Amino acid sequence: MSPAPLLLADLYLYPVKSLGGFWVPSAEVQGRGFRHDRRWLVVDAAGQFMTQRTTPAMALLHLELAHNGFIIRHISRPELKALLVPFEPTGTRTQFVTVWDDMVFAVRGTLEQDQWLSEALGQSCRLVFMPDVALRSADGGEAPGLVSFADAFPFLLIGQASLDDLNRRLEHPLPMNRFRPNLVVSGAAPYAEDSWQDFRIGELTFRGVRPCARCVMTTTDQLTAERSVEPLRTLAEYRKVGSKVLFGLNVVGPGAGTLHVGDPVRVLDAEA
């Protein structure tokens, strides 16, 4: 019996860093990652980036794709009218914002967007956009190319078999949205992606940089914002290297192209 082919099983976009993402049948690759992926960011009153690490309530803000942008809904507060955000801002107000150690030039969203997010999250915050002129190096300059407001890399890849293996070890299986991948590949052995260096998806060549160290965000239920010890407790039993718990692969890619769900995946070079 021949092994199952490697396929791109799922594609996900996260237009606003740390808010909900959505599945797409195809995605346009750009130099910073997928078009529209993590180009928007929520910052506090001091311009510091906000994530579910410190604000788990952000998990309750789910996104839906719209014709010319996306819709943000607060899933536990239906009385809060949904917010429509265009793919790119319409205003001209700018500011510098802080993401980890990077100071990044950004375009402000509207006052309506700021007020909606402040009401939804219970604190003063703003919505900002990364324009094409903003320069932010991938992995703080350690990896080639630019990156959006993602933590450090343009893409995160996870093998479906890796999640399946983890779920067999858990009392309560978890959905893929706990790990926020852009690329999900089927047909590989569990954790095979750890070793991938050069690989092709469709006609585009990508490079795996290193496995992804996971944080407390993975313990946040994306429907309730409640936290538990899983999956980090179980992952630490067999996926801990030094002080880091690893799950998924950080990836850099080409500057242009398009991916489609169902594209074949071919590993060109892998570590022994």
* 188-208 residue pLDDT tens: 999 999 999 999 999 999 999
Mean pLDDT throughout 150-176?
Answer: 98
- The model carries a pTM of 0.96
Residue 2 — pLDDT band, cuts 50, 70, 90? Answer: low
The CA-based diameter of the chain, rounded to the nearest angstrom, is: 60
Q: Which of 82, 74, 94 is nearest to 19 (CA)?
A: 74
- Residue 1 is predicted with a pLDDT of 57
- pLDDT tens figures, 81-100: 999 999 999 889 999 999 99
Residue 142 CB partners (closer than 8 Å, separation 6+) = none
Q: How confident is the model at residue 165 (pLDDT cuts 50, 70, 90)?
A: very high
Condensed to tens digits (0 to 9), the pLDDT of residues 15-27 reads 999 999 999 999 9
What's residue 128's pLDDT?
98
Instruction: Give dist(CA 129, CA 269) in Å, integer.
Output: 36
Q: Give the confidence band of 3 by pLDDT, cuts at 50, 70, 90.
A: confident
What's the pLDDT tens digit per position in 239-248?
A: 999 999 999 9
Does residue 152 register a pLDDT over 60?
Answer: yes
Instruction: Output the pLDDT for position 252.
Output: 97
> In DSSP terms, which residues pair with 244 in a beta bridge?
241
Residues in contact with 9: Cβ distance below 8 Å, sequence separation at least 6, in sequence order? 160, 184, 185, 186, 261
DSSP strands (E only) in the chain: 7-13, 22-23, 26-30, 33-34, 40-44, 61-65, 69-74, 83-86, 94-99, 102-108, 125-129, 155-159, 183-186, 196-201, 204-213, 240-241, 244-252, 257-260, 265-270
Report all structural domains of the chain as residue ranges with CATH numbers, in order of start: 7-33+150-270 (2.40.33.20), 35-138 (no CATH)
Q: How confident is the model at residue 4 (pLDDT cuts 50, 70, 90)?
A: confident
Question: Average pLDDT of the chain?
Answer: 97
pLDDT tens for residues 112-126? 999 999 999 999 999
DSSP assignment string, 181-249:
-SEEEESSPTTGGGGEEEEEETTEEEEEEEEEEP-GGGGB-TTT--B-STTHHHHHHHSEETTEEEEEE
Cis previous bond, 3, omega within 30: no
pLDDT tens for 10-53 read: 999 999 999 999 999 999 999 999 999 999 999 999 999 999 99
